[in-house]
A and B are shown apart, each in its own frame.
Chain A
């Protein structure tokens, strides 16, 4: 057995099919993106090496790049400081021993498995000024003065998109946190009860510290999801009105496939990768503390 398992032909047979597909269609493209980002290239004519010019252009001349960075930051902040606390509250609610809690958990989680395209198209219709449900609903409730063209107005577009992503993904973190809460042994709560710690006190002193690892995972996940935002913006607003909702991934897509700036598009892609890697690395460093044990 040992001998057969170190037979080179057999190892190659098991590894090569998958590895070849992965290398050609994932790994090599990543390396090539970095190379393209140093070129001036329209995808048709020969490339011209221009060093870091694409990056200089990105940081100093492209105003909509900074708009995209700010918007990513908005996605990030809403993800971490609004969506995550709501998810935590939901996770606590569905962890209570009560009738129907599985139903509630399933209902809160279901939007997560729907495609972003679907959810975004649905909300485009909900926000639609003519046939949309939101304005009609507000009229019925006597809030007619507040109705608007939600996605078409620079003042409300970004907020409207953020509401959709929160609605869509709030169940995801809830589920992860719920799984974490299930892992906390019952006797901790019983011991705390004897000391008079119930309700919020128990949450603060038991649930919260013991979930620190899971919370860290959720924060990193939310940050990465926020920085990678593409589909919801692409479908709902295509970055508009007036770039007010644009994000890095969308800019990359537009530069490369609409304006044929393959070099500049690649530079934006590299920026996005570095941003994701560095921020998640830093977050992991900051948020990893010594393990708490009781």
Chain B
């Protein structure tokens, strides 16, 4: 009997915390369907009287969220592709190949894990300006690749060290060169850690604001976080369209979370332990 009441009080506590975590998000979603008079005059937690989609169309078209969304997709995909490719190649070289400066390179990469990106901002701005790419997407794609490489290399090397070499050796015996056996045999075996790295990089790049707001000069190249921030300045009076824009920008993350929540949890724990 005592145990039962204890258990149900724990349930109640957990539900209260869950409500605290979810209520702001609930308010965001219902606001996205309300007009201003309903937001200001109505009850905070009431469902919208009418599920109007006008906020979404306004955000998507007039406030150019479609453009920001497209930019974020392009930047994220290109960054992901190169981080995964370069990091697995580097990790393979660092764990399997024999050369002198192995530990020096690992040490330099470790600096990339330890030193905050803020410390690179001012010189990066100058470098990008001198390279003449401040007005292109490359101005954030290149730094994003650089920033996310070290963690990728570390996660992948940890996996490679525990992976037996027999399969690669067999492929080599069959006449594959190192390059071919890397792409044909090693890369497919790296799928699980690559998935962890991919999730980590996807979230980091999709959500990044500091570099985007420093390096992106052209309005039409803005990514979602930057676009939303400016949007909120312009639409300070009407909350509905901004709420809709925020819902749209979180949807890919929610989708990824629903599909890969276990993988995401693993990726976050692994990433944390590296630091």
User: Hey, which bits of chain A sit against chain B, CB under 8 A?
Assistant: 1-2, 4-8, 10-11, 13-15, 17-19, 21-30, 32-33, 36, 43, 90, 93-94, 96, 98, 104, 106-118, 121-126, 128, 130-131, 133, 136-137, 140, 167, 171-172, 175-176, 179, 217-218, 220-221, 224, 227-228, 230-231, 234-235, 249, 252-253, 256-257, 262, 265-266, 269-270, 272-273, 276-277, 280
Contact = CB atoms under 8 A, between A and B. Distances in A.
A2 B98 CA distance: 9
Interface of B: 7, 10-11, 13-14, 17-18, 20-22, 24-25, 27-28, 31, 36, 39-40, 43-44, 82, 85-87, 89-90, 92-94, 96-99, 105, 108-109, 111-112, 114-116, 118-127, 142-143, 145-147, 149-150, 153, 168-169, 172, 177-179, 182, 203, 206-207, 209-210, 214, 224-226, 228-229, 232, 239, 242-243, 246, 249-250, 253, 256-257, 261, 264-265, 268-269, 272-273, 275
A114 B149 CA distance: 22
B97 A257 contact: no
A6 B257 CA distance: 42
B122 A265 contact: yes
Most chain B Cβ neighbours within 10 Å, of A36, A115, A122, A220: A115
Contacts of B109: 22
A98 B3 CA distance: 13
A81 B130 CA distance: 45
A228 B21 CA distance: 24
Contact of B121 (A2, A98, A114, A253): A253
Contacts of A27: 108, 111-112
Contacts, number: 259
B35 to A, nearest CB: 12
A252 B118 contact: yes
A24 B146 contact: yes
Contacts of B11: 98
Given A21-B142, A98-B7, A133 B112 contact: no
B123 A118 contact: no
Contacts of A19: 90, 105
Contacts of A175: 265, 268-269
Nearest to B212: A117
B127 A25 contact: yes
A140 B44 contact: yes
Contact of B116 (A14, A93, A131, A228): A228
B97 A118 contact: no
A99 B239 CA distance: 38
A24 B127 CA distance: 9
B221 to A, nearest CB: 17
A50 B272 CA distance: 39
17 contacts: A25-B147, A26-B120, A32-B122, A98-B7, A104-B14, A107-B21, A108-B17, A122-B24, A125-B239, A125-B242, A131-B40, A171-B21, A176-B273, A179-B269, A249-B118, A266-B123, A269-B122
B14 A269 contact: no
A90 B17 contact: yes
A83 B55 CA distance: 35
A28 B123 CA distance: 8
A218 B272 CA distance: 8
Given A108-B17, A227-B116, 16 more contacts: A1-B169, A5-B178, A18-B87, A19-B90, A22-B150, A23-B108, A29-B124, A30-B120, A110-B25, A112-B268, A125-B242, A136-B44, A217-B272, A220-B275, A270-B119, A273-B116
Given A15-B90, A117-B209, A96 B111 contact: no
Given A10-B179, A25-B143, A108-B18, A33 B210 contact: no
Given A1-B172, A22-B150, A6 B97 contact: yes
B112 A18 contact: no
A230 B209 CA distance: 10
A66 B275 CA distance: 28
Nearest to A277: B114
